[in-house]
Amino acid sequence: MFRFANPEYFYVLLVIPALMLLFIVAMHVRKRKILEFGNPELLFQLMPGYSKRRGWIKSSIFLFAFALMVVGLARPQFGSKLTEAKRKGIEIIIALDVSNSMLAQDIQPSRLDRAKQAISRLVDQLANDRIGLIVFAGDAYVQLPVTNDYTSAKMFLSSISPGMVPKQGTAIGSAINLAVNSFSPQSETSKVVIIISDGENHEDKPIEAAQRAFDEKGIVVHAIGIGSPNGAPIPLGSGNRDFLRDKDDNVVVTKLDEETLSKVAISGGGKYLRASNAQIGLLPLFEEINRMERTEFKDKVYSEYDDQFQYLFGIALLLLIIEFFVLERKNKLLKKLNLFGERS
User: How far is residue 26's CA from residue 162's CA, in Å, rounded to a whole number?
Assistant: 75
Q: Tell me, yes or no, whether 28 and 173 share the same domain.
A: no
Whether residue 290 lies inside any domain: the answer is yes
DSSP state for residue 9 in the 8-state scheme: G
Q: Tell me, yes or no, whether 18 and 58 share the same domain.
A: yes
Whether residue 128 lies inside any domain: the answer is yes
Contact of 95 with 175, CB cutoff 8 Å: yes
238 against 4, higher pLDDT:
4
Coil vs helix vs strand at 143: strand
Q: Tell me, yes or no, whether 102 and 238 share the same domain.
A: yes
For residue 336, give Cα distances in angstroms to 108, 222, 331, 341, 344: 86, 85, 9, 10, 8
pLDDT at res. 299? 64
Average pLDDT of the chain to the nearest whole number: 84
What type of residue is 155?
Answer: M
Contact of 195 with 176, CB cutoff 8 Å: yes
Q: Tell me, yes or no, whether 105 and 56 share the same domain.
A: no
Q: Tell me, yes or no, whether 284 and 154 share the same domain.
A: yes
Using one digit for the tens of pLDDT, what is the confidence trace for 281-310? 888 888 888 888 777 766 665 556 667 788
β pairing state of 81-89 and 295-303: antiparallel
Q: Tell me, yes or no, whether 176 and 104 share the same domain.
A: yes
13 against 339, higher pLDDT:
13
Give me Rg for the CA atoms of the chain.
Answer: 35
Please give the share of the chain, as a percent, with pLDDT higher than 70: 82
pLDDT at res. 141? 95
Does residue 340 surpass a pLDDT of 50? no
Q: Tell me, yes or no, whether 66 and 138 share the same domain.
A: no
Whether residue 279 lies inside any domain: the answer is yes
Report the DSSP beta bridge partners of residue 136: 97, 140
Is the peptide bond preceding residue 284 cis, with omega within 30 degrees of 0? no
Tally the domains of the chain: 2
Output the pTM of the full model: 0.64
Looking at 25-29, 115-119, 143-147, 199-203, which range is the least confident one? 199-203
Whether residue 8 lies inside any domain: the answer is yes
Looking at 101-105, 131-135, 301-305, which range is the least confident one? 301-305
Does residue 42 surpass a pLDDT of 80? no
Q: Tell me, yes or no, whether 267 and 160 share the same domain.
A: yes
pLDDT at res. 267? 97
How many CA atoms, within 13 angstroms, populate the side-chain half-sphere of residue 328? 5
Report CA torsion sign: 166, 172, 173, 176: positive
Using one digit for the tens of pLDDT, what is the confidence trace for 49-65? 556 677 788 888 989 99
| φ, ψ for residue 327, nearest 5 deg | -85, 150
Q: Tell me, yes or no, whether 148 and 201 share the same domain.
A: yes
Q: Tell me, yes or no, whether 140 and 281 share the same domain.
A: yes
Contact of 123 with 212, CB cutoff 8 Å: no
Whether residue 342 lies inside any domain: the answer is no
Q: Tell me, yes or no, whether 115 and 214 share the same domain.
A: yes
Does residue 228 surpass a pLDDT of 50? yes
Using one digit for the tens of pLDDT, what is the confidence trace for 316-337? 999 889 888 776 555 554 455 5
pLDDT at res. 110? 92
Buried b (16+ CB within 10 A) or exposed e, 151-166: eebeebbeebebeebe
pLDDT at res. 116? 94
Whether residue 153 lies inside any domain: the answer is yes
Whether residue 147 lies inside any domain: the answer is yes
Whether residue 167 lies inside any domain: the answer is yes
Q: Tell me, yes or no, whether 96 and 75 share the same domain.
A: no
Please give the share of the chain, as a percent, with pLDDT higher than 90: 40
pLDDT at res. 322? 87
Q: In 3D, which of 214, 227, 282 has the Cα closest to residue 253?
A: 227
313 against 87, higher pLDDT:
313
Report the DSSP beta bridge partners of residue 33: none
pLDDT at res. 334? 46
Element (H, E) at 216: helix 206-217
Report the DSSP beta bridge partners of residue 91: 130, 191
Domain around 113: 86-301
CATH number of the domain bearing residue 256 = 3.40.50.410
Using one digit for the tens of pLDDT, what is the confidence trace for 170-216? 899 999 999 999 998 877 789 999 999 998 766 688 999 999 999 99
